[in-house]
Structure 1
Amino acid sequence: MLGKTAGGLYWMFRYLERAENIARLVEAGFRIALTRSNDAEAEWKSVIVTSASQDTYEAHHEGYDSSQVINFLLREAHNPSSVLSIIKAARDNARLTRTALTTEVWYAVNDTWMMFSELLKNPVPETEVPRVLSVIRQQAALVRGALHGTMLRNDIYDFCSLGIAIERMDSTARIIDVKYYSLLPSPSFVGSRLDNVQWETVLRSVSAHRSFRWAVEDDFTAPAIANFLILDSRMPRSLNFCASQIAANLGLLAEEYQMRKPSNDLAEELLARLKGRDIGSIFDEGLHEFVETVIDDTARLAWQIEQDYRFNG
Protein backbone atom coordinates (compact mmCIF):
# COMPACT_ATOMS: atom_id res chain seq x y z
CA MET A 1 0.00 0.00 0.00
CA LEU A 2 1.20 3.53 -0.75
CA GLY A 3 2.30 5.41 2.36
CA LYS A 4 0.00 8.32 1.51
CA THR A 5 -3.00 5.97 1.40
CA ALA A 6 -2.00 4.29 4.68
CA GLY A 7 -1.62 7.71 6.29
CA GLY A 8 -5.01 8.84 5.00
CA LEU A 9 -6.73 5.80 6.51
CA TYR A 10 -4.89 6.14 9.80
CA TRP A 11 -5.64 9.86 10.16
CA MET A 12 -9.24 9.55 9.03
CA PHE A 13 -9.98 7.30 11.98
CA ARG A 14 -7.78 9.27 14.37
CA TYR A 15 -9.86 12.34 13.55
CA LEU A 16 -13.16 10.50 13.92
CA GLU A 17 -12.08 9.15 17.30
CA ARG A 18 -10.90 12.61 18.35
CA ALA A 19 -14.28 14.16 17.46
CA GLU A 20 -16.06 11.64 19.66
CA ASN A 21 -13.58 12.16 22.50
CA ILE A 22 -14.12 15.92 22.38
CA ALA A 23 -17.88 15.40 22.57
CA ARG A 24 -17.37 13.21 25.64
CA LEU A 25 -15.16 15.85 27.26
CA VAL A 26 -17.74 18.56 26.63
CA GLU A 27 -20.48 16.33 28.05
CA ALA A 28 -18.49 15.67 31.23
CA GLY A 29 -17.69 19.36 31.64
CA PHE A 30 -21.31 20.33 31.00
CA ARG A 31 -22.55 17.83 33.57
CA ILE A 32 -20.21 18.78 36.41
CA ALA A 33 -20.43 22.53 35.73
CA LEU A 34 -24.21 22.36 36.04
CA THR A 35 -24.54 20.02 38.98
CA ARG A 36 -21.47 19.83 41.17
CA SER A 37 -18.85 22.47 40.63
CA ASN A 38 -18.66 25.65 42.72
CA ASP A 39 -16.27 27.03 40.12
CA ALA A 40 -17.66 26.23 36.68
CA GLU A 41 -14.88 28.20 34.95
CA ALA A 42 -12.26 25.87 36.44
CA GLU A 43 -14.11 22.87 35.03
CA TRP A 44 -14.37 24.42 31.58
CA LYS A 45 -10.71 25.40 31.66
CA SER A 46 -9.79 21.78 32.47
CA VAL A 47 -11.78 20.69 29.41
CA ILE A 48 -9.77 23.07 27.22
CA VAL A 49 -6.48 21.93 28.77
CA THR A 50 -7.37 18.26 28.25
CA SER A 51 -8.19 18.92 24.60
CA ALA A 52 -4.67 20.39 24.17
CA SER A 53 -6.08 23.62 22.73
CA GLN A 54 -5.46 26.14 25.52
CA ASP A 55 -3.14 28.41 23.49
CA THR A 56 -5.56 28.58 20.56
CA TYR A 57 -8.50 29.24 22.87
CA GLU A 58 -6.80 32.02 24.82
CA ALA A 59 -5.69 33.70 21.59
CA HIS A 60 -9.36 34.27 20.71
CA HIS A 61 -11.23 34.33 24.02
CA GLU A 62 -11.00 35.76 27.52
CA GLY A 63 -12.28 33.70 30.43
CA TYR A 64 -13.88 30.29 30.32
CA ASP A 65 -17.57 30.95 29.87
CA SER A 66 -19.48 27.74 29.14
CA SER A 67 -21.02 28.89 25.85
CA GLN A 68 -17.65 30.13 24.58
CA VAL A 69 -15.90 26.86 25.41
CA ILE A 70 -18.69 24.69 23.98
CA ASN A 71 -18.78 26.54 20.68
CA PHE A 72 -14.99 26.73 20.48
CA LEU A 73 -14.72 22.95 20.85
CA LEU A 74 -17.65 22.07 18.64
CA ARG A 75 -17.71 24.48 15.72
CA GLU A 76 -15.22 27.37 15.59
CA ALA A 77 -13.24 27.39 12.35
CA HIS A 78 -10.08 28.91 13.84
CA ASN A 79 -9.83 25.91 16.18
CA PRO A 80 -8.28 23.07 14.16
CA SER A 81 -9.39 20.68 16.91
CA SER A 82 -13.07 21.64 16.89
CA VAL A 83 -15.44 18.82 16.02
CA LEU A 84 -16.43 20.55 12.78
CA SER A 85 -12.78 21.07 11.73
CA ILE A 86 -11.87 17.50 12.63
CA ILE A 87 -14.78 15.95 10.75
CA LYS A 88 -13.86 17.99 7.67
CA ALA A 89 -10.29 16.64 7.94
CA ALA A 90 -11.64 13.10 8.33
CA ARG A 91 -13.84 13.51 5.25
CA ASP A 92 -10.91 14.94 3.26
CA ASN A 93 -8.87 11.86 4.14
CA ALA A 94 -11.81 9.63 3.23
CA ARG A 95 -11.92 11.26 -0.22
CA LEU A 96 -8.18 10.71 -0.59
CA THR A 97 -8.53 7.00 0.24
CA ARG A 98 -12.01 6.38 -1.20
CA THR A 99 -10.91 3.44 -3.38
CA ALA A 100 -9.65 1.65 -0.25
CA LEU A 101 -12.97 2.01 1.57
CA THR A 102 -16.22 0.11 1.25
CA THR A 103 -19.20 2.08 0.02
CA GLU A 104 -20.73 1.85 3.49
CA VAL A 105 -17.71 3.45 5.19
CA TRP A 106 -17.47 6.23 2.61
CA TYR A 107 -21.17 7.06 2.86
CA ALA A 108 -21.04 6.98 6.67
CA VAL A 109 -18.14 9.49 6.75
CA ASN A 110 -19.61 11.73 4.03
CA ASP A 111 -23.07 11.71 5.63
CA THR A 112 -21.48 12.58 8.98
CA TRP A 113 -19.74 15.59 7.45
CA MET A 114 -22.94 16.85 5.81
CA MET A 115 -24.96 16.31 8.99
CA PHE A 116 -22.42 18.12 11.17
CA SER A 117 -22.14 21.01 8.69
CA GLU A 118 -25.85 21.63 9.22
CA LEU A 119 -25.93 20.75 12.92
CA LEU A 120 -23.05 23.10 13.79
CA LYS A 121 -23.80 25.86 11.29
CA ASN A 122 -24.87 28.20 14.11
CA PRO A 123 -23.74 28.59 17.73
CA VAL A 124 -25.12 25.81 19.92
CA PRO A 125 -27.45 27.08 22.67
CA GLU A 126 -26.95 25.38 26.03
CA THR A 127 -30.41 23.85 25.87
CA GLU A 128 -29.35 22.01 22.70
CA VAL A 129 -25.94 20.81 23.94
CA PRO A 130 -27.06 17.33 25.13
CA ARG A 131 -28.84 16.60 21.83
CA VAL A 132 -25.90 17.79 19.71
CA LEU A 133 -23.39 15.76 21.71
CA SER A 134 -25.61 12.69 21.41
CA VAL A 135 -25.69 13.06 17.61
CA ILE A 136 -21.88 13.37 17.48
CA ARG A 137 -21.43 10.18 19.52
CA GLN A 138 -24.01 8.29 17.47
CA GLN A 139 -22.42 9.26 14.16
CA ALA A 140 -18.96 8.25 15.37
CA ALA A 141 -20.40 4.87 16.36
CA LEU A 142 -22.09 4.55 12.96
CA VAL A 143 -18.81 5.07 11.08
CA ARG A 144 -17.00 2.65 13.37
CA GLY A 145 -19.79 0.11 12.86
CA ALA A 146 -19.44 0.41 9.08
CA LEU A 147 -15.69 -0.18 9.44
CA HIS A 148 -16.09 -3.28 11.63
CA GLY A 149 -19.02 -4.67 9.68
CA THR A 150 -17.89 -4.27 6.07
CA MET A 151 -14.09 -3.97 5.77
CA LEU A 152 -11.76 -6.87 5.04
CA ARG A 153 -9.36 -7.71 7.86
CA ASN A 154 -6.26 -6.71 5.95
CA ASP A 155 -3.68 -3.92 6.05
CA ILE A 156 -6.36 -1.30 5.28
CA TYR A 157 -8.32 -2.34 8.34
CA ASP A 158 -5.16 -2.42 10.47
CA PHE A 159 -4.22 1.18 9.62
CA CYS A 160 -7.77 2.32 10.42
CA SER A 161 -7.71 0.45 13.74
CA LEU A 162 -4.29 1.87 14.58
CA GLY A 163 -5.63 5.39 14.20
CA ILE A 164 -8.49 4.65 16.59
CA ALA A 165 -6.28 2.98 19.22
CA ILE A 166 -3.50 5.60 19.17
CA GLU A 167 -5.96 8.47 19.51
CA ARG A 168 -7.97 6.71 22.20
CA MET A 169 -4.88 5.89 24.26
CA ASP A 170 -3.64 9.48 24.10
CA SER A 171 -7.07 10.82 25.04
CA THR A 172 -7.57 8.51 28.03
CA ALA A 173 -4.09 9.28 29.36
CA ARG A 174 -4.63 13.04 29.05
CA ILE A 175 -8.00 12.86 30.79
CA ILE A 176 -6.51 10.92 33.72
CA ASP A 177 -3.63 13.36 34.01
CA VAL A 178 -5.47 16.66 33.65
CA LYS A 179 -8.60 15.79 35.58
CA TYR A 180 -6.80 14.42 38.59
CA TYR A 181 -3.86 16.78 38.87
CA SER A 182 -5.26 20.05 37.53
CA LEU A 183 -8.61 20.06 39.30
CA LEU A 184 -7.68 18.98 42.82
CA PRO A 185 -7.10 22.23 44.70
CA SER A 186 -4.67 20.75 47.21
CA PRO A 187 -2.92 17.44 47.96
CA SER A 188 -4.79 17.50 51.28
CA PHE A 189 -7.97 16.61 49.37
CA VAL A 190 -6.60 13.25 48.21
CA GLY A 191 -8.92 10.52 49.51
CA SER A 192 -11.66 13.01 50.36
CA ARG A 193 -15.17 13.19 48.94
CA LEU A 194 -13.99 15.86 46.49
CA ASP A 195 -11.23 13.55 45.30
CA ASN A 196 -13.74 10.77 44.64
CA VAL A 197 -16.06 13.14 42.76
CA GLN A 198 -13.17 14.10 40.48
CA TRP A 199 -12.50 10.43 39.75
CA GLU A 200 -16.18 9.87 38.99
CA THR A 201 -15.91 12.73 36.50
CA VAL A 202 -12.95 10.98 34.88
CA LEU A 203 -15.15 7.92 34.35
CA ARG A 204 -17.87 10.00 32.73
CA SER A 205 -15.29 11.64 30.44
CA VAL A 206 -14.59 8.26 28.85
CA SER A 207 -18.18 6.97 29.12
CA ALA A 208 -17.10 4.29 31.57
CA HIS A 209 -19.31 5.15 34.53
CA ARG A 210 -21.78 2.31 34.06
CA SER A 211 -19.09 -0.14 32.93
CA PHE A 212 -17.20 0.52 36.14
CA ARG A 213 -20.32 -0.29 38.15
CA TRP A 214 -20.77 -3.55 36.26
CA ALA A 215 -17.14 -4.66 36.41
CA VAL A 216 -15.83 -3.39 39.76
CA GLU A 217 -17.18 -3.97 43.23
CA ASP A 218 -15.30 -1.07 44.83
CA ASP A 219 -16.70 2.43 45.32
CA PHE A 220 -15.50 5.49 43.41
CA THR A 221 -12.00 5.56 44.87
CA ALA A 222 -8.81 6.67 43.18
CA PRO A 223 -7.10 3.23 43.16
CA ALA A 224 -10.19 1.39 41.85
CA ILE A 225 -10.93 3.86 39.06
CA ALA A 226 -7.29 4.31 38.10
CA ASN A 227 -6.91 0.53 37.91
CA PHE A 228 -10.00 0.32 35.67
CA LEU A 229 -8.87 3.06 33.29
CA ILE A 230 -5.22 2.05 33.16
CA LEU A 231 -4.95 -1.71 33.60
CA ASP A 232 -8.34 -3.39 33.06
CA SER A 233 -8.10 -5.34 29.79
CA ARG A 234 -11.92 -5.57 29.52
CA MET A 235 -12.36 -1.80 29.24
CA PRO A 236 -12.00 -0.73 25.56
CA ARG A 237 -10.68 2.73 26.46
CA SER A 238 -8.19 1.61 29.10
CA LEU A 239 -4.50 2.17 28.44
CA ASN A 240 -3.84 -1.56 28.64
CA PHE A 241 -6.55 -2.41 26.10
CA CYS A 242 -5.39 0.29 23.67
CA ALA A 243 -1.73 -0.72 23.95
CA SER A 244 -2.68 -4.34 23.28
CA GLN A 245 -4.68 -3.29 20.21
CA ILE A 246 -1.81 -1.19 18.86
CA ALA A 247 0.71 -4.00 19.31
CA ALA A 248 -1.67 -6.50 17.68
CA ASN A 249 -2.35 -4.32 14.62
CA LEU A 250 1.34 -3.58 14.13
CA GLY A 251 2.05 -7.29 14.47
CA LEU A 252 -0.46 -8.05 11.72
CA LEU A 253 1.12 -5.41 9.49
CA ALA A 254 4.55 -6.94 10.09
CA GLU A 255 3.15 -10.31 8.96
CA GLU A 256 1.39 -8.75 5.96
CA TYR A 257 4.54 -7.02 4.72
CA GLN A 258 6.93 -9.67 6.04
CA MET A 259 9.00 -6.96 7.68
CA ARG A 260 9.25 -5.99 11.31
CA LYS A 261 9.54 -2.23 11.89
CA PRO A 262 10.93 -0.13 14.77
CA SER A 263 7.33 0.75 15.70
CA ASN A 264 6.73 -2.93 16.57
CA ASP A 265 9.43 -2.72 19.24
CA LEU A 266 8.10 0.57 20.63
CA ALA A 267 4.57 -0.83 20.81
CA GLU A 268 5.74 -3.90 22.70
CA GLU A 269 7.76 -1.75 25.10
CA LEU A 270 4.70 0.39 25.78
CA LEU A 271 2.54 -2.69 26.36
CA ALA A 272 5.17 -4.17 28.69
CA ARG A 273 4.86 -1.09 30.93
CA LEU A 274 1.20 -2.02 31.49
CA LYS A 275 1.07 -5.82 31.42
CA GLY A 276 1.34 -7.55 34.78
CA ARG A 277 1.29 -4.29 36.72
CA ASP A 278 -0.79 -3.56 39.79
CA ILE A 279 -2.16 -0.11 40.53
CA GLY A 280 -0.26 0.11 43.79
CA SER A 281 3.08 0.02 42.00
CA ILE A 282 1.90 2.78 39.65
CA PHE A 283 0.85 4.99 42.55
CA ASP A 284 4.22 4.30 44.20
CA GLU A 285 5.95 5.35 40.97
CA GLY A 286 3.76 8.47 40.86
CA LEU A 287 0.55 8.48 38.83
CA HIS A 288 1.31 11.81 37.19
CA GLU A 289 4.81 10.71 36.22
CA PHE A 290 3.55 7.36 34.93
CA VAL A 291 0.81 8.90 32.79
CA GLU A 292 3.12 11.59 31.41
CA THR A 293 5.53 8.85 30.33
CA VAL A 294 2.66 7.00 28.61
CA ILE A 295 1.63 10.20 26.76
CA ASP A 296 5.21 10.80 25.62
CA ASP A 297 5.69 7.16 24.60
CA THR A 298 2.40 7.14 22.66
CA ALA A 299 3.43 10.29 20.77
CA ARG A 300 6.83 8.77 20.00
CA LEU A 301 5.16 5.58 18.78
CA ALA A 302 2.73 7.54 16.58
CA TRP A 303 5.65 9.43 15.03
CA GLN A 304 7.51 6.17 14.41
CA ILE A 305 4.48 4.61 12.71
CA GLU A 306 4.36 7.58 10.34
CA GLN A 307 8.06 7.15 9.54
CA ASP A 308 7.94 3.37 9.18
CA TYR A 309 5.04 3.42 6.72
CA ARG A 310 6.01 6.68 4.98
CA PHE A 311 2.73 8.51 5.50
CA ASN A 312 4.19 11.73 4.09
CA GLY A 313 5.67 10.23 0.94
Structure 2
Amino acid sequence: MSGLNLKLSLFFFLSCVLGIVSAQLSSDFYATSCPLALTTIKAAVASAVLQEARMGASLLRLHFHDCFVQGCDASILLDDTSTFTGEKTAFQNVNSVRGYDVIDNIKYQLEVSCPGVVSCADIVAVAARDSVVALGGPSWTVQLGRRDSTTASLSSANSDLPAPSLDLSALITVFANKGFTAKEMVALSGAHTIGKSQCANFRTRIYNETNIDSSYAKTLEGICPSVGGDSNLTNFDPTTPDSFDNAYFKNLLGNKGLLHSDQQLFNGGSTDSQVTAYSDNLASFRDDFAYAMIKMGNLNPLVGSNGQIRTNCRKVN
Protein backbone atom coordinates (compact mmCIF):
# COMPACT_ATOMS: atom_id res chain seq x y z
CA MET A 1 0.00 0.00 0.00
CA SER A 2 1.38 3.42 -0.98
CA GLY A 3 2.03 6.11 1.60
CA LEU A 4 -0.90 8.18 0.27
CA ASN A 5 -3.28 5.24 0.36
CA LEU A 6 -2.12 4.37 3.85
CA LYS A 7 -2.76 7.94 5.03
CA LEU A 8 -6.19 7.96 3.40
CA SER A 9 -7.05 4.62 5.01
CA LEU A 10 -5.88 5.92 8.38
CA PHE A 11 -7.91 9.11 7.90
CA PHE A 12 -11.10 7.24 7.12
CA PHE A 13 -10.46 4.83 10.00
CA LEU A 14 -9.99 7.66 12.48
CA SER A 15 -13.03 9.46 11.08
CA CYS A 16 -15.14 6.37 11.66
CA VAL A 17 -13.76 5.87 15.15
CA LEU A 18 -14.30 9.50 16.12
CA GLY A 19 -17.79 9.36 14.66
CA ILE A 20 -18.56 6.31 16.74
CA VAL A 21 -17.06 7.84 19.87
CA SER A 22 -18.97 11.10 19.41
CA ALA A 23 -22.20 9.14 19.23
CA GLN A 24 -21.54 7.24 22.43
CA LEU A 25 -22.89 7.96 25.88
CA SER A 26 -20.69 9.22 28.69
CA SER A 27 -20.86 9.09 32.47
CA ASP A 28 -20.18 12.82 32.89
CA PHE A 29 -22.58 14.06 30.22
CA TYR A 30 -24.30 16.51 32.60
CA ALA A 31 -21.20 17.50 34.58
CA THR A 32 -21.34 21.11 33.40
CA SER A 33 -24.82 21.45 31.90
CA CYS A 34 -26.68 20.15 34.96
CA PRO A 35 -24.23 19.22 37.74
CA LEU A 36 -26.97 18.41 40.27
CA ALA A 37 -28.85 16.04 37.94
CA LEU A 38 -27.65 12.78 39.49
CA THR A 39 -28.06 13.90 43.10
CA THR A 40 -31.55 15.19 42.34
CA ILE A 41 -32.58 11.85 40.84
CA LYS A 42 -31.00 9.88 43.69
CA ALA A 43 -32.77 11.91 46.37
CA ALA A 44 -36.16 11.60 44.69
CA VAL A 45 -35.78 7.84 44.20
CA ALA A 46 -34.61 7.32 47.79
CA SER A 47 -37.66 9.22 49.03
CA ALA A 48 -40.06 7.24 46.82
CA VAL A 49 -38.57 3.88 47.85
CA LEU A 50 -38.62 4.86 51.50
CA GLN A 51 -42.35 5.54 51.21
CA GLU A 52 -42.98 2.28 49.34
CA ALA A 53 -40.28 -0.35 48.82
CA ARG A 54 -42.16 -1.79 45.85
CA MET A 55 -41.52 1.44 43.94
CA GLY A 56 -37.87 0.41 43.65
CA ALA A 57 -38.85 -2.65 41.67
CA SER A 58 -41.34 -0.62 39.64
CA LEU A 59 -38.74 1.93 38.55
CA LEU A 60 -36.33 -0.86 37.63
CA ARG A 61 -39.04 -2.55 35.56
CA LEU A 62 -39.93 0.75 33.91
CA HIS A 63 -36.38 1.01 32.53
CA PHE A 64 -36.48 -2.58 31.30
CA HIS A 65 -39.82 -2.13 29.56
CA ASP A 66 -38.59 1.07 27.98
CA CYS A 67 -35.33 -0.33 26.63
CA PHE A 68 -36.84 -3.51 25.19
CA VAL A 69 -39.09 -1.46 22.89
CA GLN A 70 -37.33 0.82 20.40
CA GLY A 71 -34.35 1.09 22.75
CA CYS A 72 -33.82 3.26 25.84
CA ASP A 73 -35.69 6.30 24.54
CA ALA A 74 -38.45 6.98 27.11
CA SER A 75 -41.08 5.89 24.59
CA ILE A 76 -42.92 4.06 27.37
CA LEU A 77 -43.64 7.37 29.11
CA LEU A 78 -45.70 8.85 26.29
CA ASP A 79 -49.42 9.11 27.00
CA ASP A 80 -52.05 8.22 24.44
CA THR A 81 -53.83 11.10 22.74
CA SER A 82 -56.60 11.33 20.18
CA THR A 83 -53.98 11.13 17.43
CA PHE A 84 -51.21 9.12 19.13
CA THR A 85 -51.07 5.62 20.57
CA GLY A 86 -48.28 4.87 23.00
CA GLU A 87 -47.06 1.74 24.78
CA LYS A 88 -48.80 2.05 28.14
CA THR A 89 -51.70 -0.18 27.07
CA ALA A 90 -49.48 -3.03 25.84
CA PHE A 91 -50.26 -6.44 27.35
CA GLN A 92 -47.24 -6.37 29.69
CA ASN A 93 -47.67 -2.68 30.63
CA VAL A 94 -51.35 -1.89 31.15
CA ASN A 95 -52.42 -1.77 34.79
CA SER A 96 -48.99 -3.11 35.65
CA VAL A 97 -46.11 -0.76 34.88
CA ARG A 98 -45.92 2.07 37.40
CA GLY A 99 -43.60 4.78 38.63
CA TYR A 100 -44.63 7.37 36.06
CA ASP A 101 -45.42 9.93 38.76
CA VAL A 102 -41.95 9.54 40.28
CA ILE A 103 -40.37 10.25 36.91
CA ASP A 104 -42.69 13.24 36.46
CA ASN A 105 -41.58 14.62 39.82
CA ILE A 106 -37.90 14.24 38.97
CA LYS A 107 -38.40 15.82 35.57
CA TYR A 108 -40.20 18.79 37.14
CA GLN A 109 -37.31 19.39 39.53
CA LEU A 110 -34.73 19.18 36.76
CA GLU A 111 -36.70 21.48 34.48
CA VAL A 112 -36.61 24.08 37.24
CA SER A 113 -32.85 23.81 37.75
CA CYS A 114 -31.72 22.87 34.23
CA PRO A 115 -34.52 23.51 31.73
CA GLY A 116 -34.37 21.50 28.53
CA VAL A 117 -31.18 19.65 29.47
CA VAL A 118 -31.82 16.24 31.08
CA SER A 119 -33.70 13.69 29.00
CA CYS A 120 -36.52 11.56 30.32
CA ALA A 121 -34.67 8.49 29.02
CA ASP A 122 -31.66 9.29 31.18
CA ILE A 123 -33.86 9.93 34.20
CA VAL A 124 -35.43 6.47 33.80
CA ALA A 125 -32.00 4.83 33.44
CA VAL A 126 -30.52 6.53 36.50
CA ALA A 127 -33.67 5.96 38.57
CA ALA A 128 -33.44 2.23 37.87
CA ARG A 129 -29.87 2.10 39.18
CA ASP A 130 -30.68 4.21 42.23
CA SER A 131 -33.70 2.02 43.00
CA VAL A 132 -31.55 -1.11 43.09
CA VAL A 133 -29.01 0.61 45.32
CA ALA A 134 -31.77 1.86 47.64
CA LEU A 135 -32.84 -1.75 48.21
CA GLY A 136 -29.33 -2.96 48.95
CA GLY A 137 -28.33 -4.03 45.45
CA PRO A 138 -25.22 -3.28 43.39
CA SER A 139 -24.39 0.03 41.79
CA TRP A 140 -23.05 0.66 38.30
CA THR A 141 -21.99 3.63 36.23
CA VAL A 142 -24.90 4.82 34.11
CA GLN A 143 -23.79 6.15 30.76
CA LEU A 144 -25.69 9.33 29.90
CA GLY A 145 -26.64 11.40 26.90
CA ARG A 146 -29.73 9.59 25.67
CA ARG A 147 -32.40 11.66 23.99
CA ASP A 148 -36.15 11.12 24.01
CA SER A 149 -38.14 9.61 21.18
CA THR A 150 -41.04 11.34 19.47
CA THR A 151 -42.58 7.97 18.63
CA ALA A 152 -43.73 4.83 20.41
CA SER A 153 -44.74 1.35 19.28
CA LEU A 154 -47.65 -0.49 20.83
CA SER A 155 -47.11 -3.41 18.45
CA SER A 156 -43.44 -3.76 19.43
CA ALA A 157 -44.33 -3.54 23.10
CA ASN A 158 -46.80 -6.38 22.62
CA SER A 159 -44.31 -8.51 20.71
CA ASP A 160 -40.93 -7.74 22.32
CA LEU A 161 -41.64 -7.79 26.06
CA PRO A 162 -41.41 -11.26 27.64
CA ALA A 163 -44.67 -12.69 28.96
CA PRO A 164 -44.90 -14.61 32.27
CA SER A 165 -46.14 -17.67 30.38
CA LEU A 166 -42.99 -18.16 28.28
CA ASP A 167 -41.00 -21.39 28.35
CA LEU A 168 -37.20 -21.36 28.61
CA SER A 169 -36.51 -21.57 24.88
CA ALA A 170 -38.81 -18.62 24.21
CA LEU A 171 -37.21 -16.60 27.01
CA ILE A 172 -33.75 -17.23 25.59
CA THR A 173 -34.97 -16.15 22.17
CA VAL A 174 -36.63 -12.95 23.41
CA PHE A 175 -33.44 -11.86 25.17
CA ALA A 176 -31.19 -13.03 22.35
CA ASN A 177 -33.18 -10.80 20.01
CA LYS A 178 -31.94 -7.88 22.09
CA GLY A 179 -28.35 -9.13 22.14
CA PHE A 180 -28.31 -10.86 25.53
CA THR A 181 -26.85 -14.27 26.27
CA ALA A 182 -28.75 -16.87 28.26
CA LYS A 183 -26.48 -16.13 31.23
CA GLU A 184 -27.32 -12.43 31.05
CA MET A 185 -31.00 -13.30 30.79
CA VAL A 186 -30.76 -15.27 34.04
CA ALA A 187 -28.92 -12.41 35.74
CA LEU A 188 -31.53 -9.87 34.64
CA SER A 189 -34.33 -12.19 35.78
CA GLY A 190 -32.82 -11.88 39.24
CA ALA A 191 -34.56 -8.50 39.38
CA HIS A 192 -37.51 -10.57 40.59
CA THR A 193 -35.80 -10.79 43.95
CA ILE A 194 -37.79 -7.59 44.61
CA GLY A 195 -41.26 -6.46 43.62
CA LYS A 196 -44.70 -8.00 43.34
CA SER A 197 -46.88 -9.60 40.68
CA GLN A 198 -50.61 -9.78 40.09
CA CYS A 199 -52.67 -12.93 40.56
CA ALA A 200 -53.55 -13.02 36.85
CA ASN A 201 -49.86 -13.61 36.08
CA PHE A 202 -49.40 -16.66 38.30
CA ARG A 203 -52.86 -18.25 38.62
CA THR A 204 -52.23 -20.86 35.92
CA ARG A 205 -48.97 -21.87 37.58
CA ILE A 206 -50.34 -22.48 41.06
CA TYR A 207 -53.43 -24.38 39.92
CA ASN A 208 -52.09 -26.32 36.96
CA GLU A 209 -48.35 -26.92 37.30
CA THR A 210 -46.63 -29.66 39.25
CA ASN A 211 -43.12 -28.18 39.54
CA ILE A 212 -44.15 -25.95 42.42
CA ASP A 213 -43.66 -26.49 46.13
CA SER A 214 -47.02 -27.66 47.50
CA SER A 215 -47.01 -25.50 50.63
CA TYR A 216 -45.98 -22.46 48.59
CA ALA A 217 -48.80 -23.13 46.13
CA LYS A 218 -51.26 -23.47 48.99
CA THR A 219 -50.20 -20.11 50.39
CA LEU A 220 -50.59 -18.49 46.98
CA GLU A 221 -54.07 -19.96 46.58
CA GLY A 222 -55.11 -17.88 49.58
CA ILE A 223 -54.05 -14.77 47.70
CA CYS A 224 -55.11 -15.79 44.22
CA PRO A 225 -58.44 -17.65 43.94
CA SER A 226 -59.13 -19.83 40.92
CA VAL A 227 -61.65 -17.23 39.76
CA GLY A 228 -61.48 -13.49 40.38
CA GLY A 229 -58.92 -11.39 42.23
CA ASP A 230 -56.84 -10.82 39.12
CA SER A 231 -55.15 -7.74 40.56
CA ASN A 232 -54.31 -9.27 43.95
CA LEU A 233 -50.60 -8.90 44.63
CA THR A 234 -47.92 -11.09 46.16
CA ASN A 235 -44.15 -10.85 46.44
CA PHE A 236 -41.88 -12.47 43.88
CA ASP A 237 -39.61 -13.40 46.77
CA PRO A 238 -41.53 -14.63 49.83
CA THR A 239 -38.45 -14.54 52.07
CA THR A 240 -36.74 -11.13 51.70
CA PRO A 241 -39.08 -9.22 49.35
CA ASP A 242 -37.60 -5.76 49.93
CA SER A 243 -33.94 -6.71 49.75
CA PHE A 244 -32.00 -6.97 46.50
CA ASP A 245 -30.24 -10.26 47.21
CA ASN A 246 -29.98 -13.71 45.63
CA ALA A 247 -32.96 -15.26 47.44
CA TYR A 248 -34.82 -15.38 44.11
CA PHE A 249 -32.43 -18.05 42.87
CA LYS A 250 -32.55 -19.98 46.13
CA ASN A 251 -36.33 -20.00 45.85
CA LEU A 252 -36.11 -21.45 42.35
CA LEU A 253 -34.06 -24.37 43.70
CA GLY A 254 -37.01 -25.13 45.99
CA ASN A 255 -39.60 -24.82 43.20
CA LYS A 256 -40.81 -21.53 44.62
CA GLY A 257 -40.67 -19.46 41.47
CA LEU A 258 -43.78 -17.29 41.32
CA LEU A 259 -44.25 -17.09 37.57
CA HIS A 260 -44.10 -19.92 35.06
CA SER A 261 -41.26 -18.02 33.37
CA ASP A 262 -39.39 -17.78 36.68
CA GLN A 263 -39.39 -21.51 37.37
CA GLN A 264 -38.40 -22.22 33.77
CA LEU A 265 -34.93 -21.00 34.65
CA PHE A 266 -34.57 -24.01 36.96
CA ASN A 267 -36.55 -26.85 35.50
CA GLY A 268 -34.05 -29.34 34.11
CA GLY A 269 -32.91 -27.04 31.34
CA SER A 270 -29.73 -25.34 30.17
CA THR A 271 -29.88 -22.53 32.73
CA ASP A 272 -30.11 -24.73 35.84
CA SER A 273 -26.39 -24.49 36.54
CA GLN A 274 -26.45 -20.69 36.34
CA VAL A 275 -29.32 -20.47 38.79
CA THR A 276 -27.43 -22.75 41.16
CA ALA A 277 -24.28 -20.66 40.79
CA TYR A 278 -26.11 -17.44 41.64
CA SER A 279 -27.87 -19.06 44.59
CA ASP A 280 -24.44 -19.97 45.98
CA ASN A 281 -22.61 -16.75 45.13
CA LEU A 282 -24.28 -13.40 45.80
CA ALA A 283 -21.24 -11.43 44.65
CA SER A 284 -21.27 -13.16 41.28
CA PHE A 285 -24.94 -12.33 40.78
CA ARG A 286 -24.42 -8.70 41.77
CA ASP A 287 -21.53 -8.29 39.35
CA ASP A 288 -23.30 -9.98 36.46
CA PHE A 289 -26.53 -8.09 37.08
CA ALA A 290 -24.73 -4.74 37.05
CA TYR A 291 -22.91 -5.66 33.83
CA ALA A 292 -26.15 -6.73 32.16
CA MET A 293 -27.87 -3.52 33.25
CA ILE A 294 -25.12 -1.43 31.67
CA LYS A 295 -25.57 -3.43 28.49
CA MET A 296 -29.34 -2.96 28.60
CA GLY A 297 -28.95 0.78 29.09
CA ASN A 298 -27.03 0.89 25.81
CA LEU A 299 -29.83 -0.61 23.73
CA ASN A 300 -30.30 1.68 20.72
CA PRO A 301 -30.17 5.05 22.50
CA LEU A 302 -31.01 8.19 20.56
CA VAL A 303 -27.98 10.49 20.62
CA GLY A 304 -26.67 13.60 18.94
CA SER A 305 -29.42 15.37 17.03
CA ASN A 306 -31.79 12.41 17.07
CA GLY A 307 -34.96 12.67 19.11
CA GLN A 308 -35.45 15.55 21.52
CA ILE A 309 -35.26 16.53 25.19
CA ARG A 310 -38.90 16.45 26.25
CA THR A 311 -39.95 19.14 28.69
CA ASN A 312 -42.86 16.90 29.75
CA CYS A 313 -42.04 13.19 29.75
CA ARG A 314 -45.64 12.28 28.88
CA LYS A 315 -45.78 14.11 25.55
CA VAL A 316 -43.55 15.26 22.72
CA ASN A 317 -42.54 18.92 22.63
Task: State the TM-score, normalizing by the size of structure 1.
Answer: 0.30
Q: Considering fraction of residues, name the structure with more helix.
A: 1
The structure number with the bigger radius of gyration is 2
Task: State the TM-score, normalizing by the size of structure 2.
Answer: 0.30
